[in-house]
Amino acid sequence: MKFKFEKIINGKNKKRGGKKKQPSFMMQLATSVIIFMVIGAVLDAAFGDKTDNKITLSELTTLVSENKVEQILVKGELLDITLLSVDGAESVKKESKKEVGTALSQTLVNYGVTPEALSLLDIEINEPSGLGYWLGIILPFLLPLLMLLFIIWFFMKQMKGGNKQAMSFGNSKARLINPKDKKKRVTFKNVAGNANAKQELGEMVEFLKNPKKFIDMGAKIPKGVLMTGLPGTGKTLMARAVAGEAKVPFFYLSGSDFVEMFVGVGASRVRDLFKMAKKMSPSIIFIDEIDAVGRSRGVGIGGGNDEREQTLNQILVEMDGFEESEKVIVMAATNRDDVLDSALLRPGRFDRQVRIELPDRKDRRAILDIYAQKKPLAKNTDLQVIAERTAGFSGADLESIMNEATIIATMAGKKKISQDHLINAFEKVLMGPKNKSHLAGEHEKRVTAYHEAGHAIVASVLPDADPVHKVTIIPRGRAGGFTMKLPLDERRLPTRAVYYDDIAMGLGGYAAEMKIFNDITTGPSNDLKVATATARDMVTKFGMSDSIGPIVVTGEAAKTLFGGQVSSSQRSDKLLEEIDAEIKSIVENGLKRAEIVIDDHYDAFVDIAETLLKAETLEQAEYNEILKKHGIPLKELKKVI
């Protein structure tokens, strides 16, 4: 038996994590004692002396001498005595014991029974041979012994159980997916869409496949990659695909696996995990749902927090502690990157972030195709229709549609899945337990498309705005869609013109909604907030307003030459009013400029919006095509050296 007693005795293990309530030591002891007593009583009843029909040898002698005994059955040392029945009454039985090692007749003679009396006696010797007899003799000794052994074993098991939770890290908690396990191997082929993420992660694959090449070149490979994205977008799947592509061992562990443990064990698990991964390098450690341990430290109350912090610290220490040459890449996934501790995101840790987006129409089709592959689809099915209707669905949702459709078809006793089954499944998943509030209806989609087109066209036309990198109407977080700008160069010191154009572009969505629908949704509320904040900074921080001039009016107190402090509360009300008016005028001016751009390039604007409605996402190249079609010059990337 391989028990680690030092671990059991070690105080840590007595303090079990609150999850599984274990009976206390005293309770266990009491239970054992009670079991013991019950068994004892039972044994006593079975094998104990039955005093009422017991007689002594001398009494037996007397009975024999008086010729009252009919038969004596000798079973080893036990004597079963049958007395002569009187007047046909039932014969009485007695029991006795003879002397050890002496024949019964001899004993009786010794006790003074006459040979005559003896000759009348029927003595039957039934030498014990049966199993029962031996059991009868052994069991009374054996049973308590067995009980004792059982109790010892029971305790050992209890302790070992507790021990196992703490100790057997490598065996059970972190699941190791071996690259040689062909059945479980997942590659990029199994992940539909996500071209950008695949490309970024492809670098990791290259490194893991051929670390020497990179190390020889002196390249620094990121130690950590953090994948973020909504639930069900395939983060876990993607991580496994990276391991599958690189054909390296993949240690899978969920953040919550750390949390359920005793204090201090989370940290030691992390240590073990990294040790093991290094031993098998090149390898990947994947910590799924890292927000369970990686939440900002120092917030939140209650127990477990300590444990979480220790675990998190240990992860950080391990990540700092290994060199690139150790060829271990730590991947992590979360759908709550907003709550992550900033220490995790520092360079040398999870410095690379890969965003996994909700699939667009094309990718949704691809995902449906993947899961339709092994399913018997009827000829009338059109997955494209399903792909079109499922804006906002995650990969997991789509997988679940295919699965539900199969179930519905099977329940209906059909051999093939028809379009109706697919539509029913789609509705089922749509209504499903998950709140699909972000799933846009047709009108919402139109509003979003025109809103984003407004941002995009303003950005593309105004000279100092950053060019458009990507436009999408696929919901992301709370936003209905988004327009991604990419700075032309790294302007460390943006000019006033850049800020003006930025504000105009920010109001492009608002202007577009007004133009097309003559109404405003809550969609642009964040845009307005950002635009207003930018305008305020221009006026109160950067001295970019002509009427206010080069003064700073921020909330923060500033040190004067003489050590005094100036704060905004010392500003006159009149100045504050002027500031507000100036901010308002900047924002309104931005809106006016956005409106002019939309009017001037109305065709291009509508084209962008309508294309967006169809394709949902426009990458830079596709977007630029539209601009070219309408004669809007592309902004050239200024080379920064």
Tell me which residues are annotated as active site. Answer: 452
The whole-angstrom separation of Cα 273 and Cα 328 is 11
Residue 357 or 527 having the CB closest to Zn ion: 527
Query: Which positions ≥6 away from 316 have C-beta within 8 Å?
Result: 343, 344, 349
The whole-angstrom separation of Cα 443 and Cα 448 is 9
Give the nearest distance from C-beta 235 to Mg ion in angstroms.
5
SS3 of 240-306: the string is HHHHHHHCCCEEEEEHHHHHCCCCCHHHHHHHHHHHHHHHCCCEEEEEECCHHHHECCCCCCCCCHH
Residue 60 or 398 having the CB closest to ligand ADP: 398
Give the nearest distance from C-beta 455 to Zn ion in angstroms.
5
Number of residues engaging Mg ion in binding (CB under 5 A): 1
Number of residues engaging Zn ion in binding (CB under 5 A): 2
Sole binder of ligand ADP in the list 354, 367, 422, 457 (CB under 6 A): 367
Name which of 269, 262, 258 is nearest 22 in CA terms.
Answer: 262
Token pair, residue 637, equals 């990337």
Is 454 a binding residue for Zn ion by CB under 5 A? The answer is: no
Query: Which positions ≥6 away from 130 have C-beta within 8 Å?
Result: none
Residue 350 or 623 having the CB closest to Mg ion: 350
The whole-angstrom separation of Cα 477 and Cα 337 is 12
Using the contact rule CB under 6 A, the part of the chain among 113-121, 138-146, 231-239, 526-534 near ligand ADP is 231-239
Helical segments of 322-439, H only? 361-372, 383-389, 395-411, 419-431
The whole-angstrom separation of Cα 398 and Cα 614 is 19
Instruction: Go through 216-234 and write b for each residue having 16 or more CB atoms within 10 A of its CB, e for each that does not.
Output: eeeeebbbbbbbbbbebbb
Largest CA distance in the chain: 146
Reduced to 3 states (helix: H, G, I; strand: E, B; else coil), residue 175 is strand
The partner in contact with residue 509, picked from Mg ion, Zn ion, ligand ADP, none with C-beta cut-offs of 5 to 8 angstroms by kind, is Zn ion
Using the contact rule CB under 5 A, the part of the chain among 232-240, 348-356, 458-466, 615-623 near Mg ion is 232-240
Residue 238 or 609 having the CB closest to Mg ion: 238
CA dist 505 to 71, 459, 532, Å? 119, 5, 13
36, burial (CB in 10 Å: exposed 0-12, middle 13-18, buried 19+) = middle
User: 3-state DSSP helix/strand/coil percent for the chain, to nearest 5?
Assistant: 55, 10, 35
Residue 335 or 624 having the CB closest to Mg ion: 335
Is 194 a binding residue for ligand ADP by CB under 6 A? The answer is: yes
Is 545 a binding residue for Mg ion by CB under 5 A? The answer is: no
The partner in contact with residue 192, picked from Zn ion, ligand ADP, Mg ion, none with C-beta cut-offs of 5 to 8 angstroms by kind, is ligand ADP
Give the nearest distance from C-beta 555 to Mg ion in angstroms.
41
Residue 236 or 545 having the CB closest to Mg ion: 236
Residue ranges of E strands in 64-174: 69-75, 78-83, 93-97, 122-125
The whole-angstrom separation of Cα 259 and Cα 242 is 26
Torsion angle (degrees, nearest 10) of CA 195, 199, 200, 206:
150
Point out the residue whose Cβ comes nearest to Zn ion. Answer: 509
Residue 282: cis peptide before it, omega within 30 degrees of 0: yes
Using the contact rule CB under 6 A, the part of the chain among 234-242, 268-276, 312-320, 484-492 near ligand ADP is 234-242
Give the nearest distance from C-beta 398 to ligand ADP in angstroms.
7
509, burial (CB in 10 Å: exposed 0-12, middle 13-18, buried 19+) = buried
Reduced to 3 states (helix: H, G, I; strand: E, B; else coil), residue 637 is coil
The whole-angstrom separation of Cα 307 and Cα 88 is 85
Give the nearest distance from C-beta 230 to Mg ion in angstroms.
11
Residue 246 or 459 having the CB closest to Zn ion: 459
The partner in contact with residue 194, picked from Mg ion, ligand ADP, Zn ion, none with C-beta cut-offs of 5 to 8 angstroms by kind, is ligand ADP
Sole binder of Mg ion in the list 163, 194, 236, 390 (CB under 5 A): 236
Point out the residue whose Cβ comes nearest to Mg ion. Answer: 236
Using the contact rule CB under 6 A, the part of the chain among 100-108, 120-128, 197-205, 392-400 near ligand ADP is 392-400
The whole-angstrom separation of Cα 623 and Cα 614 is 13
398-417 residues near Mg ion, rule: CB under 5 A: none
Instruction: Please state whether beta strands 175-177 and 250-254 pair in parallel, antiparallel, or not at all (unpaired).
Output: antiparallel
Using the contact rule CB under 5 A, the part of the chain among 229-237, 481-489, 582-590, 628-636 near Mg ion is 229-237
The whole-angstrom separation of Cα 22 and Cα 286 is 31
Is residue 367 within 8 Å of residue 193, measured between CB atoms? yes
The partner in contact with residue 457, picked from Mg ion, Zn ion, ligand ADP, none with C-beta cut-offs of 5 to 8 angstroms by kind, is none
Give the nearest distance from C-beta 499 to Mg ion in angstroms.
40
Task: Tell me which H or E stretch contains 559.
Answer: strand 558-559
Number of residues engaging ligand ADP in binding (CB under 6 A): 19
Sole binder of ligand ADP in the list 307, 341, 360, 399 (CB under 6 A): 399
The partner in contact with residue 395, picked from ligand ADP, Mg ion, Zn ion, none with C-beta cut-offs of 5 to 8 angstroms by kind, is ligand ADP
Residue tagged 């494209």 (tokens):
384
500-539 residues near Zn ion, rule: CB under 5 A: 509, 527
Residue 244 or 395 having the CB closest to ligand ADP: 395
Using the contact rule CB under 6 A, the part of the chain among 2-10, 227-235, 426-434, 572-580 near ligand ADP is 227-235
- x/- map, 324-363, ligand ADP, by CB under 6 A: ---------x-------------------------x----
Using the contact rule CB under 5 A, the part of the chain among 90-98, 102-110, 228-236, 249-257 near Mg ion is 228-236
Name which of 300, 322, 312 is nearest 267 in CA terms.
Answer: 312
Which long-range CB contacts under 8 A does 618-621 form with residues at least 24 apart? 618/470, 618/471, 618/472, 619/470, 620/468, 620/469, 620/470, 620/486
471-530 residues near Mg ion, rule: CB under 5 A: none
Residue 324 or 527 having the CB closest to Zn ion: 527
Is 237 a binding residue for ligand ADP by CB under 6 A? The answer is: yes
Is 395 a binding residue for ligand ADP by CB under 6 A? The answer is: yes
The partner in contact with residue 328, picked from ligand ADP, Mg ion, Zn ion, none with C-beta cut-offs of 5 to 8 angstroms by kind, is none
- x/- map, 568-607, ligand ADP, by CB under 6 A: ----------------------------------------
For ligand ADP, the binding residues (CB under 6 A) are 191-194, 229, 231-237, 333, 359, 367, 370, 395-396, 399
For Mg ion, the binding residues (CB under 5 A) are 236
For Zn ion, the binding residues (CB under 5 A) are 509, 527
